[in-house]
Structure 1
Amino acid sequence: MSIMKRTIAALALAGAAGSVATLAAAGPAVAQPRGPQPVTTRLAAVQANTASWVNVFWRTDRPVCDAQVQVDGGRQVRVSYPALRRTTTFTTGNSLRPGRTAATPIRVSPMTRNGGIVVLRATMSYTDCGRHARTQWTRANLALPVIRQVIHQAPAPHRPGHH
């Protein structure tokens, strides 16, 4: 029985050593370029059942050209864009350089009186600014905090004898 245990232990040790050698040979993980990404996925809070403009801020690690952003709010949030367009682009144009930050404005209209967090789905189409650049896409889920709509009611009249 002890020979069996030693054999199993030796095989386990050899397997572990092989795994460590493989990881060491692979070297440190190299970060792959990600392209345009939101700076944060949490948008500014808006009031329920009220149209409001919010900005989605973007950054990138590689050149971005011909950018267009569409945002889907599902049934909970109606989304529109500046100048009655079908998409939005950066406030500085349709390109973004590495290390820079730019905003894409959207108008949101939460279709509820209740508060909470609503998930919006943003899709950006863009190219890498090359001569024969192909269109690429990036997608991101954005959290839109919705503040409950407060309905102000007149205070009840004070009646004598009720304190």
Structure 2
Amino acid sequence: MNGIRRTAVLAAAAVAATGLMTATPASASHHGPHPVTPWIEVVRAHDPTWVKIWWDTGEKICDAEVTVRADHVGIVYPENTGSYTSFRDEAYLRPARPDYTAFKVDADYDRNTMVPVEATLSYNTCGDKAVEKARIYWLRLPVLRNPDH
């Protein structure tokens, strides 16, 4: 097992032991869109890294936009969207076809920590009578101290 992977496994085990590993209330309801897991990939502090949030849904959604916010974490969205991120192929999500949103994070921390991330998903219910909706999901970004800083 390589060093980064071993560190990530140890970080996840430490978080699980502290009782922080809980599902978000939104993930309990599988009808609408929801993150597949409350975790974002492990990153090193001060090392800009592209990360993904995997999503699933029980009903089709359209025109999806995701914005994220976290204290002391710089966020950069893909060039083609600029102020938000959307799904890999299109701006919609269909049942039984998980997809992800991607963005770059730069965590400004000098220690190992677990950063709460607020992800806001704005979308509509598709079709002629589409209803606009927005939901906030709370996720966790594991940050490992970067020994090079």
TM-score under structure 2 length normalisation: 0.76
Tell me, in whole angstroms, the C-alpha distance in 1 between the residues paired with 2:68 and 2:62. 19
Task: Name which of 76, 80, 104 aligns with 1:80.
Answer: 76
Which consecutive unaligned segments of at least 5 residues does structure 2 have? 1-27
Alpha-carbon distance in structure 2 between the residues aligned to 1:33 and 1:88: 22
Which of residues 121, 124, 135 in structure 2 aligns to 1:138?
Answer: 135
Deviations 1:26-49 (A, max 9, x none): xxxxx9664110000111100011
1:112 matches 2:109: yes
For residues 41-74 of structure 1, give each alpha carbon's deviation from its aligned partner in whole angstroms, at most 9, with x where no partner exists.
1111000111100000000010110000000113
How far apart, CA to CA, are the structure 1 residues paired with 2:29 and 2:112? Answer: 38
Tell me the equivalent position of 1:5. none
Identity of aligned residues (%): 35
Aligned partners of 1:122 and 1:139 also within 8 Å: yes
Distance in structure 1 (CA, Å) of the matches to 2:70 and 2:31: 24
Structure 1 moving runs of 4+ over 6 Å: none
Corresponding residue to 1:64 among 53, 61, 66: 61
Cα distance in structure 2, aligned partners of 1:90 and 1:33: 18
CA spacing shift, 1:103–1:33, aligned 2, 3 Å: closer
- TM-score if structure 1 supplies the norm length? 0.70
Superposition deviation, residue 132 in structure 1 = 2.2
| Aligned Cα root-mean-square deviation (Å) | 1.7
SS at match of 1:82: coil
Q: What is the CA–CA distance in structure 2 between the aligned matches of 1:122 and 1:136, rounded to whole Å?
A: 14
Supply the distance in 2 between the matched residues of 1:138 and 1:60 (Cα, whole angstroms): 13
| Residues 1:139 and 1:97: Cα distance change in structure 2 (over 3 Å) | same
1:89 to 53, 76, 86: 86
Q: Which structure 1 segments of 5+ residues have no match?
A: 1-30, 153-163
